[in-house]
Amino acid sequence: MSTTKHSINNLILFAIHSLSKSSKKCTFQELIKECFSLFPKEFCFSKYPKWPDARKLDRSLRTLREKKMISGNLQTFFGLTSSGKKIAEEVTRTFCQKKLL
Nearest CA-CA partner of 25 in 73, 77, 81: 77
The pLDDT-based confidence of 78 (bands split at 50, 70, 90) is very high
The whole-number pLDDT of residue 69 equals 97
Q: What is the pLDDT of residues 14-72, one digit of tens each?
A: 999 999 998 889 999 999 999 999 999 999 999 999 999 999 999 999 999 999 999 99
User: Domain for residue 1, yes or no?
Assistant: no
Out of 4-13, 40-49, 71-80, least confident range: 4-13
CATH number of the domain enclosing 50: 1.10.10.10
User: Domain for residue 93, yes or no?
Assistant: yes
* Mean pLDDT within 68-79: 95
User: Domain for residue 3, yes or no?
Assistant: no
User: Domain for residue 2, yes or no?
Assistant: no
Domain count, the chain: 1
User: Domain for residue 37, yes or no?
Assistant: yes
User: % helix / strand / coil in the chain, to the nearest 5?
Assistant: 55, 10, 35
Which residue range(s) make up the domain with 75? Answer: 8-100
